[in-house]
Structure 1
Amino acid sequence: MKEARSSSWSDLLPELLGLVLMRLPSLIDRVRLKAVCHSWCSNARLQPLPPPPPWLALLDGTFLSIPDGKIIRMPASDNAFCGGSSESWLFFVHSDGRCSLMNPFSKAALDLSKLVKRWFNARSIYKSFRKLEYKGVHICQPPFAVNLSLESHRLPCYPLDDIAFFSGKLYGVFGGGELLTTFEIICGLDRKPKTSVVKCITNHPLVKRILPQPLPSSCVVKTYLVEYCGKLLMVERKIGWADPTSRYPLEHERTVAFEVFEADLSTKPGQWRCVFELGDQALFIGKHCSKSFPAGECNGIQKDCIYFMCDYLSLDLAFDPICDPLRESGVYNIRNGKITPLLPETAVVPQHRGGKWCSTWIFPTDDV
């Protein structure tokens, strides 16, 4: 008993430490545990752990931890506009026009100063919603970050809804899912990457699911592409408004439903097939970053659910780049059609503050 009372916390068996870590999904809590002593830090690095839950980058440069609602402040690029993310990397446009990628967890950085400056004008991104120029850079995982200009190609006269990097190719969806095009990255003798249109998928879904909840008479549809367990998914977000007679359809908007489709590339032309469940995964969707993520009780992420934020502007805010990501956010269950708040009732909802960042998902790693 005397020896037991004099034992140090640093002598905690690695097996017990692992059990503790499994109950600490938050990256911040894991970091605090590692900081207790050298022994805990060394043993913690040996434990196989599920990835920590995603964070939501806020406009003022802080991060919101999901689902506990904690606000995290981390050093980032000063005086720079954050235009998107990919995994644990953030894409920045600096005041001098220089572009860069930075990992706020490992502090690694990648300079992209050779990018054409006019494509990354922070003000024009909100006026024209030309996310291709932003997402086309950070969608290619570091260190292979390249400028993907698709403006020179003769594409159909559809608005580009979203792009995604899947199976070594870049896919773009047009016209609300009417057309899916593949852009192949080709490196020529001059070592400069080029793109070419190599395949198109037509035929919007022939089989539509019966939604659990009826839709409003008028809806706006936003489309996202996301890679999911070796499959390419298209997510349709239905945004309705309370007053159909309003001149500004997004003035009183709210997300009412989602539909998910899988691209079947085995047929010519390809087909969209309806998806009714996500298994043990959840989808985090957004204009600047979309990703599937393992769900489970250990991390508080709900399976068969779509996590969404407000990534669009109402027409009355068309000239204001500040948009509160929590203004129209939530968790949608694709099985029963129910929408629950993004944060639990016990969480303190952060006050909306402006800044130089766009709202985007970022996925922490344990390498800190």
Structure 2
Amino acid sequence: MGGCICKPQTAAPWPDLPPEIAGRIFSCLPSHDDRLSFAAVSSRWRIAARLQNLLPPPVPCINLDHGRYQRLVDGEVRRFPAAKSYCAGTSFGGWLFYYHKGSGRCFLRAPVSGDPIELPTRPLPQSPDYVYTDIAFYDGKVFVLSRWEELFCHELFTVGGINHSLIPIVCHDMEAQPAMTTNSYLVVSSDKQKLLMVRWRRRANQPAIDMRVFEADFGKARWLELKDLGDQLLFLGRSGSMAFAATHTEYWGPRFRGGNRVFVLGTEWARSVEQAVYTKRDIPGYCIYDMISGKTSLVSLGRPRRTKSCTSGWFFPTSENLYHFKFR
């Protein structure tokens, strides 16, 4: 009997995957830099990435300052290169803020790609009667929050310059006034239909947080308290806050599945008590507050930090930056 020698079949190379399969793999990548790496493999994979019109948002990172960013999915720290002679400062949404100590010039730029936007350095007029604690862009306008949680609307594009209204358009009833030890943030809801204000306070000598969420009722000029956030996940930070729909974040990992939770930066949690700075205590990466149970969870990312001289902020990368990626 004659033998039959068959050549073993070899699998097709990864870069030659059909676009629909490559696109499904791409949609499951939770971090922005993994998506950048995917798009850099080949032109076929780049096309597959661009075909994903309803791409879920990439998982936020923690801006550790000095150009370092920590991923929430695995705690890995990456560094984005800064322009020559410029320092990487805070982040605003999907943009990074850079400044030049010598000249005072400042600009915003998307990481890895994107043209810089230079910012005016002339200080804006300020009112001596109010201390602003947070700012949000909503419905085409700029809203700012005072220390006493009064909401003001500022029209930036008006004839003759910037129009600053000194009359609050939303404020609290007297019994809902915040205490001096509270932290208040503005955040636009995940469906872009509501402007929310979140107030939280750390319990003395405890890791637990007390938190309340309010919605701006512009018709009644009052803050209305919300007990249920639905499927929303809120990320709070001094340099920018953002809300996500939990249905879009399930692939990020088990900590991000299900709504009604608020994420607070570990550095802001550590500074929120009126006590001496803990120089020997490690800071969690972030804290999770469950709106239903009222419980607080502290999450470590494997790189312990100290409270002394420690800063951080959220960085929310945008998927649009992928399409400007340049191959070398």
State the TM-score, normalized to the length of structure 1: 0.71
Q: In structure 1, what is the equivalent of residue 3 of structure 2?
A: none
Equivalent AA in structure 2 for residue 104 of structure 1: P
Contact 1:283 1:290 in 2 (8 A): yes
Does residue 340 of structure 1 match 2:309?
A: no
Structure 1 residues 205 and 170, CA gap change in structure 2 (3 angstroms): farther
Shift of the 260–77 alpha-carbon distance from structure 1 to 2, 3 Å rule, reads farther
Shift of 1:350: 5.2
Matched AA of 2:185? Y
- What is the distance in 2 between the residues matched to 1:354 and 1:31? 34
Aligned to 2:44: 39
Cα offset, 1:163, TM superposition? 2.2
Structure-2 residue corresponding to 1:231: 194
Q: Secondary structure at 1:364's aligned position in 2?
A: coil
More displaced stretch, 77-86 vs 9-18: 77-86
Paired letter, 1:73: R
Cα distance in structure 2, aligned partners of 1:32 and 1:325:
32
Q: Return the alpha-carbon distance in structure 2 between the equivalents of residues 325 and 103 of structure 1.
A: 31
RMSD: 3.3
Indicate the residue corresponding to 2:32 in structure 1. Answer: 27
Partner-residue secondary structure (3-state), 1:200: coil
**In the aligned structure 1, how far is the partner of 2:43 from the partner of 2:87?**
37
Q: Which structure exhibits the higher relative contact order, with contacts defined as CA atoms closer than 8 Å and separated by 6 or more residues?
A: 1
Check whether the contact 1:54–1:364 (CA below 8 A) recurs between aligned residues. Answer: yes
Task: Give the SS at the match of 1:220.
Answer: coil
Aligned residues: 301
2:286 is aligned with 1:329? yes
Work out whether residues 93 and 100 of structure 1, in 8 Å CA contact, stay in contact via their aligned partners in 2.
yes
Matches within 5 A, 1:70-149: 70-77=76-83, 80-96=86-102, 97-112=104-119, 114-116=120-122, 148-149=124-125
Q: Does 1:55 align with 2:61?
A: yes
Instruction: Provide the rounded CA distance (Å) in 2 between the counterparts of 1:332 and 1:193.
Output: 38
Match of 2:245 in 1: 294
Name the CA distance, whole Å, in 2 between partners of 1:354 and 1:102: 29
Q: 1:226 to 1:6 in 2, by over 3 A?
A: closer
**Residue 308 (1) aligns with residue 264 (2):** yes
Classify the secondary structure of the residue corresponding to 1:274: strand
Equivalent residue, structure 2, for 1:349: 303
Aligned residue number for residue 213 of structure 2: 260
Q: Is this contact kept in 1: 2:27–2:52, CA < 8 A? A: no
Tell me, in whole angstroms, the C-alpha distance in 1 between the residues paired with 2:148 and 2:292. Answer: 23
Return the offset for 1:261. 0.7
Q: Is the 8 A contact 1:234 1:263 kept in 2?
A: yes
Distance 1:241 1:235, change over 3 A: same
Q: State the TM-score, normalizing by the size of structure 2.
A: 0.78
User: For residues 84-125 of structure 1, what are the alpha-carbon distances to aligned partners after superposition, in whole Å with 9 as ceiling and x for unaligned?
Assistant: 32221122332122222122132421222x413xxxxxxxxx
The equivalent position to 2:15 in structure 1, one of 4, 10, 23, is 10
- Counterpart CA distance in 2 for 1:52 and 1:107 is 18
Please report how far the alpha carbon of residue 74 of structure 1 lies from its aligned counterpart in structure 2 after TM superposition: 1.2
Gaps of 5+ in 2: 1-5, 323-328
SS of aligned partner of 2:21: helix
Identity of aligned residues (%): 30
